[in-house]
């Protein structure tokens, strides 16, 4: 019953006109986070592969939700299934964040829902209700192929979702990679002056606790690298390209929340000469490393590492193990990401001072050496670290003598007033930290009663055995605070 009351309060707050303060989520800056997705189409194999290796992860993301035309969530694979329950129990026992993914790629439907205030609210309600119903650690938003015209409405959606989600729920945003324009066009003069992006990085930075950049499916998008790298060159994710992408993104998104998305799969292409004698590529299909191993063994080939840092094979297309041979006279090229390619991306994330890496995907078909790579980079479990004070006094903070706040009325989340500032100062002073940095932190107290203030009040209430401990400052709490 208490959970339902809290849920209703949080959902209601999303649709007020009050700008709530940003809450500093995440572990301390020296913690390197590793996470990864398990796709619903290979759910059991993914769970079987991941469960014994959970100690290498900070977070796991079941790929189980999509969205209906009206903004309601669509469940691709219910979390009530035994496999997800098994994984969730193991994750909880090890302090691993369990944050499912919502994947949506219908550009028209997204624009319709986000641009309509009521449909947008309904979509937020649908997500928040599911997060609280399942008692999840948060939600991962993976909304791809949006129109540029949808950009401001998507930002409004993220703001609404952030305000509605609550202080101890995470919002992860999985976003397409952005290649520098100088690498996408042949010359500065050829860059169009009217380019618009579908994602507003500065707004995403405000409302997402982690931003995972899908730094894969590169192909031939980087014209500079296409010129300087030898054929065959059709990488999933060249380490040099990933560096460009992440450095560009870090200009607008805080490094301490920025994560490199890393692939564990590959693509097979036909390479051929066109009528002008130029080398062309035709992409055929994606594959897991096991398919590459089957091919190399059957044909007696040995893979080598290319200039992109990935493994690759080449052979005559007529030798293909697959009966479909689009171009029998072409050269077949396979390029894929193995454990070493993943290690290179993790090393780059450390070098650039980023939060970590997120692996797509864990489905049993990944190079099993990836787990040893992650084991060497994982920091520590960060399920609830630094979100807000949960219970007890923070022993690392020196208690400062501050007069109790003189609260003349009851206060709750969404309220604004100078008494809130006095309340925040007092809570910070006695060890119930409102925020470790930014608004609400020591010396930066605000007059807004937002999620971080509520979290600190709950911690104070629990320490004083004030019941119910729901963050509402009523007569009992005011008395415990020493207000007259």
56-72 pLDDT tens trace: 999 999 999 999 999 99
Average pLDDT rounded to a whole number, residues 10-29: 37
Q: Give yes or no: residues 137 and 278 share one domain.
A: no
Average pLDDT rounded to a whole number, residues 352-374: 97
80 in any annotated domain: yes
Q: Give yes or no: residues 288 and 209 share one domain.
A: no
Per-residue pLDDT at 18 exceeds 50: no
The distance of Cα 258 from the centroid of its chain, to the nearest Å, equals: 9
Q: Give yes or no: residues 45 and 147 share one domain.
A: yes
Question: Which pLDDT value is given to residue 429?
Answer: 84
Q: Give yes or no: residues 142 and 158 share one domain.
A: yes
What would the pLDDT profile of 219-258 be if each residue is shown by its tens digit? 999 999 999 999 999 999 999 999 999 999 999 999 999 9
Show the domain range for 107: 31-264+338-377
- Give the global pTM: 0.75
Q: Give yes or no: residues 172 and 302 share one domain.
A: no
**232 cis-preceded (ω within 30 degrees of 0):** yes
Per-residue pLDDT at 294 exceeds 50: yes
Alpha-carbon torsion 132, 133, 134, 140, what sign? Answer: negative
Q: Name the phi and psi angles at 216, rounded to 5.
A: -155, 180
What would the pLDDT profile of 192-223 be if each residue is shown by its tens digit? 999 999 999 999 999 999 999 999 999 999 99
14 in any annotated domain: no
Q: Give yes or no: residues 87 and 173 share one domain.
A: yes
**Cα gap 85→91, rounded to integer Å:** 10
Question: Which pLDDT value is given to residue 379?
Answer: 52
Task: Residue 405: give its domain's CATH number.
Answer: 1.10.101.10
Instruction: Give every CB contact of residue 76 below 8 A, 6+ residues apart in sequence.
Output: 40, 63, 64, 65, 66
Average pLDDT rounded to a whole number, residues 98-102: 98
Per-residue pLDDT at 166 exceeds 50: yes
**468 cis-preceded (ω within 30 degrees of 0):** yes
Question: Which pLDDT value is given to residue 484?
Answer: 57
Q: Give yes or no: residues 296 and 353 share one domain.
A: no
23-32, 369-378, 455-464: segment of lowest average pLDDT: 23-32
Instruction: Give every CB contact of residue 478 below 8 A, 6+ residues apart in sequence.
Output: 407, 410
Q: Give yes or no: residues 37 and 74 share one domain.
A: yes
What would the pLDDT profile of 328-346 be if each residue is shown by its tens digit? 889 999 999 999 999 999 9
Task: Residue 304: give its domain's CATH number.
Answer: 3.10.50.10
2-16, 112-126, 276-290, 448-462: segment of lowest average pLDDT: 2-16
Of 327, 352, 377, which residue sits at a domain end? 377
Task: Residue 142: give its domain's CATH number.
Answer: 3.20.20.80
The average confidence (pLDDT) of the chain is 87
Chain position carrying tokens 């923070």: 394
What total of structural domains would you count in the chain?
3
353 in any annotated domain: yes
């Amino acid at each position: 019953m208490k959970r339902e009351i809290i849920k209703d309060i949080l959902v209601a707050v999303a649709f007020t006109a009050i700008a709530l303060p940003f809450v500093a989520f995440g572990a301390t800056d020296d913690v390197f986070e590793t996470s990864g997705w398990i796709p619903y189409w290979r759910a059991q194999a993914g769970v079987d592969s991941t469960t014994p290796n959970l100690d290498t992860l900070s977070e796991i993301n079941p790929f189980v939700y999509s969205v209906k035309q009206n903004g309601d969530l669509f469940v691709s694979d219910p979390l009530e299934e035994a496999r997800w329950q098994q994984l969730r129990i193991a994750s909880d026992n090890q302090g691993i964040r369990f944050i499912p993914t919502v994947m949506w790629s219908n550009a028209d439907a997204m624009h319709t829902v986000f641009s309509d205030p009521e449909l947008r609210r309904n979509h937020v309600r649908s997500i928040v209700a599911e997060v609280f119903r399942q008692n999840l650690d948060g939600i991962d938003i993976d909304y791809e192929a949006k129109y540029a015209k949808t950009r401001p409405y998507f930002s409004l959606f993220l703001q609404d979702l952030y305000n509605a989600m609550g202080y101890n729920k995470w919002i992860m945003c999985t976003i397409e990679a952005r290649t520098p324009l100088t690498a996408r066009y042949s010359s500065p003069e050829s860059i169009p002056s009217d380019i618009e992006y579908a994602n507003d990085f500065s707004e995403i930075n405000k409302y997402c606790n982690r931003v995972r950049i899908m730094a894969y499916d590169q192909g031939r998008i980087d014209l500079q690298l296409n010129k300087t790298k030898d054929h065959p060159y059709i990488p999933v994710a060249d380490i040099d390209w990933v560096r460009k992408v992440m450095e560009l993104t870090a200009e607008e998104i805080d490094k301490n929340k920025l994560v490199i998305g890393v692939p564990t799969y590959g693509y097979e292409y036909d390479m051929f000469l066109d009528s002008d004698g130029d080398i062309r590529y035709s992409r055929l299909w994606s594959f897991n490393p096991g398919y590459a191993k089957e091919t190399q063994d059957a044909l007696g080939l040995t893979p080598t590492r290319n200039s992109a840092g990935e493994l690759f094979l080449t052979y005559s297309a007529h030798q293909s193990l697959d009966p479909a041979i689009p171009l029998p006279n072409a050269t077949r090229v396979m390029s894929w990401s193995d454990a070493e390619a993943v290690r290179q991306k993790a090393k780059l994330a450390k070098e650039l001072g980023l939060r970590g890496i997120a692996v797509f995907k864990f489905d049993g078909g990944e190079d099993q050496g990836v787990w040893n790579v992650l084991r060497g980079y994982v920091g520590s479990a960060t399920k609830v670290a630094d979100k807000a004070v949960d219970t007890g006094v923070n022993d690392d903070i020196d208690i400062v003598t501050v007069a109790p706040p003189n609260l003349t009325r009851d206060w709750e989340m969404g309220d604004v007033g100078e008494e809130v500032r006095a309340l925040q100062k007092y809570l910070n002073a006695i060890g119930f930290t409102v925020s470790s940095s930014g608004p609400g932190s020591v010396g930066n107290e605000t007059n807004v009663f937002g999620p971080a203030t509520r979290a600190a009040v709950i911690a104070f209430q629990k320490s004083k055995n004030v019941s119910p401990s729901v963050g509402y400052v009523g007569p009992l709490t005011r008395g415990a605070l020493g207000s007259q």
